[in-house]
Structure 1
Amino acid sequence: MSGIPLSSIAQYLGSSGASRNISITGMALDSRKVVDGDLFVAIEGAQRDGHEFIETARDNGAAAALVSRNIATDMPVLQVENTVAASAEIGRFARQRFTGTVVGITGSAGKTTAKTLLSAVLSRAGTTIATIGNENNELGVPLTLSRLFQQPEYAVIEMGAAQLGDIRYLKSLAQPDLVVLLNALDAHVGRFGGIDAIAEAKGEILDELSADQVAVINADQAWTEAWCERALPARIVTFGMSEHANVRAMEIEDEGVRGSRISVDSFGRRFEVSICVPGRAGVMNALATIAAATALGVSLDLVVAGLETADVVPGRGELKQLDNGANLIDDSYNASPASVMASIDVLAKAPSPRIAVLGDMLELGDQSQRFHSEVGKATDLASIDQVIAVGPAAKGIADARQGASIHVDSVDHLIIDLPEFPANSTILIKGSRSVGLDRLVTALTQPFGATAC
């Protein structure tokens, strides 16, 4: 595996140290996740100080450490004033040296799934790296960029935003050749103050593109026209259900919790593809992947092969089976009003009994009560047989329902006294990350194992 001499990084940063000729192939912030060749970045946090874990990082394979104070260790170190800022600069340095293709992806929902699908396709065409998990912020993006020292052919970088300006900053680091704007939805609406502000923030990925760059844009959103104008003079490729989209779904054979088979028109070429990601959201992510990959010159044969063999992202619509034969849709990673509605629509297509375990949807500000109530009413319209609402805000889901429902204060209540779901049932589990519904999934499936579609 190729890398870069530690001395070259030291010279770029103007850092002391790096007296040994050591090759760096990436960076890590967590000493437990270090792999051979990593530069371990020691960050002083409010709860823990990364400098205390340097020896653990060394034992796990770190080649060197990035530190902000003198450390007694026999591992090579680079000393800088601020390790967070320096890690960002290392990411920028890696991008400057990279000669392959970088793709940047943003949106309110679907980023990780779209990244996974696209990286599965691009890996058919050449060596590909991608954001690990959802390391999509100012700390995570430089980690992915640092792996560009390995000189792959493609890199797929996921970019998230907590406020206006975040995407602009991350894009300045990644300098993507092709950008994908998936959507603007009501996720984190309380943090941004409104859906229009979210659309503005996600649109930052389109700013200052040149004519030799490509912008892949959702054709079905209220902001599509404004986004397309914002992306000029870049080449624009649109995707969606709209008849005006360059890449669109002509027909969709919904296979319920097991995914969809899609008849696609891509710039006038018709073909079919099966995906394992259920619902309309899965279809849109597949269309975005097709649009991006074909814009990069990947053949349709490789696109189809990549999509049809891509794995479902854990915790994002992953189908599992309990020991009694019941189907469990693990969508526990996170939740927003739009994504919960989409998951309810998937559940509605499953045979009865249909059970939804729904946790709090957080960061909705003063609209939280309204959104939770709307979800409760939607479960009635979708003929969901039972709802288990988890968390204080989720009580609004149970209160709004006409059908059977129960409410518990926390996931701990369910873990202590595990529900017994009928053998022929389909269970959806979804909530905001901090609710901890992934722990319920583990408690239900760990003794028995699980199979994905």
Structure 2
Amino acid sequence: MIELTTADLVSITGGRITATADPGATVAGVATDSRECSEGWLFVAKPGEVSDGHHFIDRAFAAGAVLALAEHETLDPDGAVHPAVIVQDAVIAMGQVAAHLVALLRQQGTQVVGITGSAGKTTTKDLLAAILATAGPTVAPIGSYNGEVGVPLTVFGATTDTRYLVIEMGATGIGHITYLTDMVKPDTGVVLCVGTAHAGEFGGVENIARAKGELVEALPVDGTAILNLDDPRVAAMASRTRATVLGFSMDDDGSGAAVSATDIVIGADGCPEFTLTLPGGHSHRIRSGLIGRHHVANLLAAAAAAHALGIDGAVIAGTLQDRGPASRWRMERTERADGVSIINDAYNANPESMRAALRTLAELGLPGADGTARRTWAVIGEMLELGADSIHEHDLIGRLAVRLNIKKLVVVGRGAKAAHNSAVLEGSWGDEAYFVETPDEAEQLLQEQLEPGDIVLFKSSNSSGLRHLGDRVAAHAVPSGPTGTPATGIGGAR
């Protein structure tokens, strides 16, 4: 982090200093979790949905913090006021500090990239950061830090030698992305797709498109908007920006995309291979280490943004070659010793990403070169924040699982039960479709019925908790029978 003094923080936020704070003290890092504080750090005591950061100020100072950014004074165990800068809103103050630091970074030539979309942000961010790191020091979010707290925390990770700052931008309402763009002033903006994630909060898909387009509206005239021309709502954002538009496409439909994928082939391991074409007609054959055809769009977006930032095509292709996921629970594949494959894609879910994951699972279950098919299991939980469309969208997912010939469907939790009901109506019955109330019940079912050769997908929204179930099942193994061969389990022969 670029060091700031207590006096700097007072000036930036308009806050007031407590009597015990040293105006000349410098902070070397920022944390909103007291467990993450280190020597010389600033602890932001923000109120949370579950707990209030002010209750953890003592722990932060014990861990090495030298200052708190707080909304009211607090006392240490001896009754003395904690050294702090007191502000009206700690989260807004974080944004003010981040905006100040970005302004300093810009003076030294740091390029800022913003990435948004209803799905694929984290994967695209990871891919782009890997490419840009070949050209200079690059800072990108940890995991999915993409909101009013996560974006400032990403900025705080930048230093005076940072050449590229990659920002992931999420939103659950109109104006949220504008708040973030006002903070970081991106030079390049990437819009991946407009889906139905958070549709309930936004009040409809058109409002989602309006919100995602706030990113390209914020770009400067000498900036670049990277747009997915395969998504009509994203393609329409070209009229909303003064920046140069660089489109990408994985459909050979004459879209005029300057960055495209052709001759797409999905390998037996589910990883796509394709020919990447960049502006100027330069082409490179790439095999990705990511699982699923849908990741081709994320690869193209990262390639397009890197090209816009001046990275050579051969470097882009070389970096993307065989690169797998960098963040957890994104089509994360684990091969158990007993021959069961686990694909954990349960970091988050919306109807678009759920459909993409199910199609990938179906492709992985197809007969291989030896003519042998694999039994496929889809373990799905609730897709949250869909509002009034929730039952309908879960219904569609259950029907799709049957139509894709997924062999076993396990629906976890009342919020997703419509997917089980529709699967039964569509033609799955008996031991093909299961409904369980909890992840623990699902774990027991899988432990009893999984057989060597099975492939299991876990997919749900983050709060549904299936990512942790996927981790536990990945650590299991089918018990051996008396002859040393794997037991078949309750499900019997496949």
C-alpha distance in 1 between matches for 2:4 and 2:286: 40
**Equivalent residue letter for 1:41:** V
Deviation track 1:1-48 (CA, whole Å, cap 9, x = no partner) reads 753334322332343255254443432111122345532101133542
Q: Aligned-pair distance for 1:221?
A: 1.2
**Equivalent residue letter for 1:142:** P
Deviation track 1:217-266 (CA, whole Å, cap 9, x = no partner) reads 111111244200111x2111111124411100012121254422221111
Contact 1:110 1:281 in 2 (8 A): no
Q: Aligned-pair distance for 1:61?
A: 3.9
Tell whether 2:228 aligns with 1:218. yes
**Of 120-129 and 139-148, the range deviating more from structure 2:** 139-148
**Equivalent residue letter for 2:311:** V
**Equivalent residue letter for 1:87:** M
**Of 60-69 and 195-204, the range deviating more from structure 2:** 60-69
Contact 2:227 2:235 in 1 (8 A): no
Whose Rg is larger? 2
1:294 counterpart (307, 326, 346)? 307
Counterpart of 1:330 in structure 2 is 344
2:276 counterpart (248, 264, 280)? 264
Unaligned runs of 5+ in 1: 449-453
Contact 1:258 1:319 in 2 (8 A): no
- Percentage of pairs with the same residue: 34
C-alpha distance in 2 between matches for 1:175 and 1:86: 17
Counterpart of 2:491 in structure 1 is none
Contact 1:215 1:237 in 2 (8 A): yes
1:228-243 matches, within 5 Å, as 228-231=238-241, 233-242=242-251, 243=254
Deviation track 1:309-362 (CA, whole Å, cap 9, x = no partner) reads 454421111111223121111001111111111001110111320111011122
**Equivalent residue letter for 1:378:** L
Counterparts in 2 of 1:413 and 1:41: CA distance versus 1, 3 Å? same
Contact 1:249 1:287 in 2 (8 A): yes
Q: Aligned-pair distance for 1:418?
A: 4.7
Deviation track 1:74-119 (CA, whole Å, cap 9, x = no partner) reads 8743222322221111111111111201101100001111111111
C-alpha distance in 2 between matches for 1:224 and 1:418: 40
C-alpha distance in 2 between matches for 1:165 and 1:281: 28
Contact 2:123 2:325 in 1 (8 A): no
**Of 73-82 and 153-162, the range deviating more from structure 2:** 73-82
Counterparts in 2 of 1:10 and 1:441: CA distance versus 1, 3 Å? same
1:50-449 matches, within 5 Å, as 50-73=53-76, 76-99=83-106, 100-231=110-241, 233-242=242-251, 243=254, 244-267=256-279, 268-308=281-321, 309=323, 311-351=325-365, 352-401=374-423, 402-403=427-428, 404-415=432-443, 418-419=446-447, 420-446=449-475
Counterparts in 2 of 1:358 and 1:372: CA distance versus 1, 3 Å? same
C-alpha distance in 1 between matches for 2:31 and 2:358: 37
C-alpha distance in 1 between matches for 2:25 and 2:287: 45
Contact 1:167 1:201 in 2 (8 A): yes
Q: State the SS of the aligned residue for 1:196.
A: helix
C-alpha distance in 1 between matches for 2:472 and 2:375: 21
C-alpha distance in 2 between matches for 1:418 and 1:221: 37
C-alpha distance in 1 between matches for 2:268 and 2:182: 40
Contact 1:217 1:236 in 2 (8 A): yes
Counterpart of 1:32 in structure 2 is 35
Deviation track 1:402-434 (CA, whole Å, cap 9, x = no partner) reads 231110122132245553411101111101112
C-alpha distance in 2 between matches for 1:148 and 1:361: 34
**Equivalent residue letter for 1:16:** I
The two structures have a TM-score, normalised by structure 1, of 0.93
Q: How many pairs does the alignment contain?
A: 447
Q: Aligned-pair distance for 1:53?
A: 1.5
Q: State the SS of the aligned residue for 1:98.
A: helix
Q: State the SS of the aligned residue for 2:274.
A: strand
Counterparts in 2 of 1:35 and 1:252: CA distance versus 1, 3 Å? farther
Structure with bigger RCO (C-alpha 8 Å, 6+ apart): 1
**Equivalent residue letter for 2:436:** V
Contact 2:42 2:67 in 1 (8 A): yes
Contact 2:69 2:84 in 1 (8 A): yes
Q: Aligned-pair distance for 1:292?
A: 0.1
Counterpart of 2:489 in structure 1 is none
Deviation track 1:189-217 (CA, whole Å, cap 9, x = no partner) reads 22222222211111111114322111101
Unaligned runs of 5+ in 2: 366-373, 478-494
Q: Aligned-pair distance for 1:129?
A: 0.9
**Equivalent residue letter for 1:252:** I
The two structures have a TM-score, normalised by structure 2, of 0.85
**Equivalent residue letter for 1:241:** M
**Equivalent residue letter for 1:239:** F
Counterparts in 2 of 1:410 and 1:257: CA distance versus 1, 3 Å? farther
